[in-house]
Amino acid sequence: MNPFNAAEGTIEVSLERDEQLLLSQLVTLLGSVGAAPNDPAADRLNPDAFLDDVEASREFRRLTADELATARDMDRDVFERTLAGKHLNVDEAEAWVRILGDARLALAARRGVVDGEWEDEIETSRDLAVVAYLGFLQGSLVQALVELEAAA
Amino acid sequence: MTAPTRVHDPTVENDEAIDRPWNVVVWNDPVNLMDYVVWVFRRLFGHPIEEATRLMLQVHHEGRAIVSTGPREQAEVSVYRLHHHGLWATLERA
């Protein structure tokens, strides 16, 4: 069964208790991004906006960092508030999609993932297994959002 | 106090550096899902699914793709929103 299904203008959520428990840990994970210096997850989630212009990238970051942090805090609040629920509206689902994606990127960055070969290590690394599992959830939720939009 | 002075008349001067548009570039990464990237392109730029899929495949195979082009301010907003969605995006002069 799909974890997320579009039905009558809403998205139905079918997650087990242990799945909800694992997802609740993502709030802590994402809250820790950038808390310690030289965090690869922070670099990945806040990339340079200009490839070869350090000054312009710094200026871009200065202008957008607060707004981006606030937007992510709001996503995390929505995610936490709706985690135990059975339904998501579109706005809530979009916050979930971003949280799942950010968590995948953060975990992968801290594991030093630089290419597609990480998928060969799913059996041996718990973190990478979680990245794959969160990808399964995110894919199902994106599919449900697309179906919801098509039905509207 | 003095009256404001007009220092720049766009009808007389054509400053190419100001007028030239900016590209929003998305770079390949090994973690984001293909379906998710297509969804983000549709959601943020309103691309039809065919165009969003074409751009996603271009990112995947060529390592990067220009997903939109426009004035600098607009391009900066797009990059900000792409970063909010976890995509690796940069700005460059068109």
Within-domain flag for B14: no
Mutate to test the interface with B, among A53, A105, A118 (most CBs of B within 10 A): A105
User: Domain holding B42: CATH number?
Assistant: 3.30.1390.10
The percent of residues in chain A predicted with pLDDT above 70, rounded, is 100
Within-domain flag for B64: yes
Lowest model confidence (mean pLDDT) among A122-126, B7-11, B16-20, B39-43: B7-11
A140 close to B (CB below 8 A): no
Within-domain flag for B12: no
Within-domain flag for B4: no
Q: How many domains does chain B have?
A: 1
Residue found by looking up tokens 């390592």 in the block = B63
Give the count of Cβ contacts less than 8 A between chain A and B: 73
Q: Which domain holds residue B32?
A: 21-93
pLDDT of residue B45: 96
The sheet that has B64-70: what strands, in order across it? B64-70, B22-27, B89-93
Tens digits of residue pLDDT in A87-138: 999 999 999 999 999 999 999 999 999 888 999 988 999 999 999 999 999 9
Within-domain flag for B8: no
Within-domain flag for B67: yes
Output the CA angle A80-A62-A72, nearest 5 degrees: 10
Within-domain flag for B11: no
pLDDT at A83 over 60: yes
CB contact under 8 A, A68 and B80: yes
